[in-house]
Amino acid sequence: MGVRSPFRSPRLIARYGYLAGACPAREEAPALVGDSAGWTWTALVRPRTFQWTRVSFGQRPDVDWIPEELRGLTPLVPSRSADVTWRMATQAAGPGCFMVGDAAATVDPTSSHGVLKALISGIAAGHLISAVLGGKAPPEAYHQWLAGWFSEDAAKLTQFYRRLGASAFAAPAPHKGLAAGGAIG
């Protein structure tokens, strides 16, 4: 369709895998652990089956990397990776088309509401298609709504990653001529 989706974050690659065995520490509750190098999520997804995801800031985890607490368990399939770099379509709605879910906007899994966002964006697109056809709203209304949601998620994730000390998400240096604490444009 020729719609661009430029990156809105440093490059982020999630590495993930599934393992069989026992891990008492994860059988009761999942864990999300982060530091300046990235974050790791581990969880029991069905009896004796654990899933892990690792996003390393600035580098891709090695293909044989496994979280320390799950080492010794049996891999069920080779680990895989997915590009979770934040991006948003430059035009999420236009004549005859509305983009929904990850096709319209993507942030990494730490936002923890990707499935919800896919469902809600589909519902919103349906309502706005009706409004556009009835002459009550322009297609741009959908894009503006989606952009607001994306910006809010990106701001919260950026703040979270800065608190972890992730240098890839460090605040930009003030523009020349601004006093410390001044507005950054």
* Closest to 65 in 3D by CA, of 126, 124, 122, 16: 16
Q: Are residues 69 and 103 in the same domain?
A: no
Q: Is residue 43 part of a domain?
A: yes
pLDDT, tens digit, for every residue of 68-98?
999 999 999 999 999 999 999 999 988 788 9
Q: Is residue 98 part of a domain?
A: yes
Q: Are residues 114 and 161 in the same domain?
A: yes
Give the residue with greater pLDDT, 182 vs 122. 122
pLDDT, tens digit, for every residue of 90-117?
999 887 889 998 889 999 888 878 888 8
Give the residue with greater pLDDT, 3 vs 22. 22
Q: How many domains does the chain have?
A: 2
End-to-end CA, the chain: 32
**Cα–chain center distance at 81:** 14
Residue 183: which pLDDT band, with cuts at 50, 70 and 90?
A: very low
Q: Are residues 25 and 41 in the same domain?
A: yes
Q: Is residue 40 part of a domain?
A: yes
Global pTM exceeds 0.75: yes
